[in-house]
Amino acid sequence: MTEKIIHIIVGSQMGSSEYVADQLNGILQSKGYSCQLHEQPNLEQIPISDVIWLICTSTHGAGELPDNLQLLIKQINNHSQLKSLSYTVIGLGDTSYDTYNKAAKDVDLLLKTKQANQIMEVLEIDAMDENLPEDIAIAWLPNWLSSISQKNL
């Protein structure tokens, strides 16, 4: 079985999601996984069939998607279904806002409605947590890799 490439898709307004994605990319590559990081995600450059997406996005404003993720979401909306796509979303947010991790939840819901295969529930990282966002994501990563292995992805 050929290992699937992990496409790490970044949705970042202020850089925190980008930093978390960079850290995860480095760790995954050091463990021998093939990864591609997409900081300006565009479906013309990201495969949607028989691949794994790890989407790392923040929420900004009143629950909006980061600017660099807007095009990708419009493109996903134009697809009727994404049955051969497996994904997980990591959301960076701040629980002091009513719209905590709304962008991540919206991306997850959109992919579910397109029949993509969720590997794990959304990982919600709170900026109010005393731990650094990248440390939370790095601690979570072994469980995610285990889920990929169990699902034979």
What is the rounded CA–CA span in Å between residue 89 and residue 108? 6
Give the pLDDT score at 1. 37
Q: Are strands 35-38 and 6-11 parallel, antiparallel or unpaired?
A: parallel
What is the chain's pLDDT, residue by residue, as a tens digit (153 residues)?
347 899 999 999 888 999 999 999 999 999 999 999 999 999 999 999 989 999 999 998 889 999 999 999 999 999 989 999 999 999 999 999 999 999 999 999 999 999 999 999 999 999 999 999 999 999 999 999 999 999 888
DSSP one-letter code for 81: -
Q: How far apart are the first and last CA of the chain?
A: 9
What is the rounded CA–CA span in Å between residue 22 and residue 98? 28
What is the rounded CA–CA span in Å between residue 14 and residue 57? 11
What is the rounded CA–CA span in Å between residue 134 and residue 65? 20
pTM given for the model: 0.95
What is the rounded CA–CA span in Å between residue 133 and residue 152? 28
Return the closest-CA partner of residue 119 out of 92, 93, 143: 143
Does the domain made of 6-150 have the CATH classification 3.40.50.360?
yes
Give the DSSP H or E segment for 143: helix 133-150
